[in-house]
């Protein structure tokens, strides 16, 4: 069981995010280089670095046809120019022989000697410290602010799992559908660490009930870790769960008669928002992406236990099944 340290007396001058995360997260956050400016300063993009270049892999939008052909692995740009002038390249069914034509890889159909050519969308991994009053969806019909309004994206990005509108903290956004699927699959029961602030002090017996599992309308919750982290006030709890049902944390506390005043996800699959202010984002580093791939790939780390009612968990992670 992860151990939580007791929260020290509140220091009003302390930075909000990093201190909180440090105290409740059982997984050491990745070390960040100190010599780089952070995107937490107003969400500005980072200066180019090897790590970033590798990890960002952003999709360019409109580009010259010869660059498109080069990126698709057909030929070097110079050779691509030769192909174009020789009349074997077509865009949207029309042969292009002049140089300098631009194409949109997401929209235009390019062929070489009649064979379709495409470039794979590049993979993007963004870690957002989600603020309040922002919904976790790709688009909102009612025009409310979504998490995608807060991050740069030239390609379709999906939030991995869902946080309620007023839940803050760790949210991963990516267009890597495979990794997103693995991270949210019910059989991969990686820890989600939450800081829960209640409207009143919690009873010891209720803490024990949370740890054992409580009955919700969609079944009993699996055993979890729960610690008070603001003694003697006893209103703030660090909770580690391995499930991702819809509004699970709020419903767990509501089932015991508590109102959740604030909810922050401080860690998800080992990712934390250390160093990121609310609303700020950063690209994952290559080694962080590799780690996520490794942990979602390892059969020894996959916990395929059934829940306490003996039912398969498939379909339970309703909040986590986006995309
Ligand atoms: N559990 C909740 O109740 N809400 C969230 O946003 C995440 C987990």
**Domain check: are 234 and 106 in the same one?**
no
Give domain status of residue 55, yes or no: no
The CATH number for 75's domain is: 3.10.290.10
Number of domains in the chain: 2
**Domain check: are 130 and 167 in the same one?**
yes
**Domain check: are 209 and 86 in the same one?**
no
How far apart are alpha carbons 295 and 291 in whole angstroms? 6
pTM to 2 decimal places? 0.67
Please choose from 164, 184, 320 the residue to mutate so as to test ligand 1's pocket, defined by most ligand atoms within 8 A of CB.
164
How far apart are alpha carbons 105 and 118 in whole angstroms? 7
In order of 86, 149, 175, 254, the CA distances from 251 in angstroms are 66, 28, 30, 5
Task: Answer yes or no: is the C-beta of 263 below 6 A from any ligand 1 atom.
Answer: yes
Residues 8-34: tens digit of each pLDDT? 333 333 333 333 333 333 333 333 333
Can you read off the two tokens belonging to residue 316?
Answer: 């339970």
Q: Is the CB of residue 222 less than 8 Å from the CB of residue 310? A: no
93 C-alpha vs ligand 1 centroid, how far in Å? 49
How far apart are alpha carbons 97 and 294 in whole angstroms? 46
Q: Is the CB of residue 65 less than 8 Å from the CB of residue 80? A: yes
Residues 44-60: tens digit of each pLDDT? 343 334 334 333 444 44
**Domain check: are 293 and 272 in the same one?**
yes
Q: Whose CA is nearest to atom 2 of ligand 1?
A: 247
Is residue 164 flagged as an active site residue?
Answer: yes
Domain that holds residue 95: 63-117
Residues 50-101: tens digit of each pLDDT? 334 333 444 447 899 999 998 888 988 999 999 999 999 999 999 999 999 9
Classify burial at 155, counting beta carbons within 10 Å of its beta carbon; exposed 0-12, middle 13-18, buried 19 or more: middle
**Domain check: are 73 and 170 in the same one?**
no
**Domain check: are 106 and 187 in the same one?**
no
> Of 30-39, 84-93, 136-145, where does mean pLDDT reach its minimum?
30-39
The CATH number for 22's domain is: 3.30.2350.10
**Domain check: are 151 and 229 in the same one?**
yes
Task: Answer yes or no: is the C-beta of 236 below 6 A from any ligand 1 atom.
Answer: no
36 C-alpha vs ligand 1 centroid, how far in Å? 33
**Domain check: are 162 and 254 in the same one?**
yes
**Domain check: are 182 and 87 in the same one?**
no
């Amino acid at each position: 069981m992860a151990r939580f340290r007791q929260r020290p007396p509140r220091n009003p001058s302390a930075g909000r995010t990093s201190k909180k995360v440090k105290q409740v997260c059982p997984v050491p956050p990745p070390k960040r280089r100190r010599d780089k400016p952070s995107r937490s300063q107003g969400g500005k993009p980072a200066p180019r670095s090897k790590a970033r270049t590798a990890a960002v892999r952003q999709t360019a939008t409109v580009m010259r046809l010869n660059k498109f052909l080069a990126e698709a692995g057909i030929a070097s740009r110079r050779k691509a120019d030769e192909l174009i002038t020789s009349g074997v390249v077509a865009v949207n069914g029309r042969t292009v022989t002049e140089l300098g034509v631009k194409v949109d890889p997401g929209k235009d159909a390019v062929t070489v000697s009649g064979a379709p050519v495409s470039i794979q969308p590049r993979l993007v991994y963004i870690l957002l410290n989600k603020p309040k009053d922002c919904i976790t969806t790709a688009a909102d019909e009612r025009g409310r602010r979504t998490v995608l309004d807060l991050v740069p994206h030239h390609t379709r990005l999906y939030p991995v799992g869902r946080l309620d509108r007023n839940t803050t903290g760790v949210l991963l956004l990516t267009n890597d559908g495979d990794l997103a699927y693995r991270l949210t699959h019910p059989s991969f029961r990686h820890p989600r660490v939450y800081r829960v602030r209640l409207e009143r002090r919690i009873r010891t017996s209720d803490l024990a009930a949370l740890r054992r599992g409580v009955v919700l309308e969609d079944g009993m919750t699996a055993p979890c870790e729960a610690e008070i982290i603001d003694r003697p006030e006893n209103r703030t709890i660090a909770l580690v769960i391995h499930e991702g049902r819809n509004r699970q944390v709020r419903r767990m506390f509501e089932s015991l008669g508590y109102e959740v005043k604030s909810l922050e996800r401080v860690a998800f699959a080992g990712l934390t928002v250390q160093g990121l202010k609310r609303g700020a984002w950063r690209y994952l580093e290559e080694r962080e992406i590799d780690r996520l791939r490794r942990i979602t790939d390892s059969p020894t780390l996959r916990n395929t236990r059934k829940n306490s009612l003996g039912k398969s968990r498939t379909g339970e992670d309703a909040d986590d099944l986006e995309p």
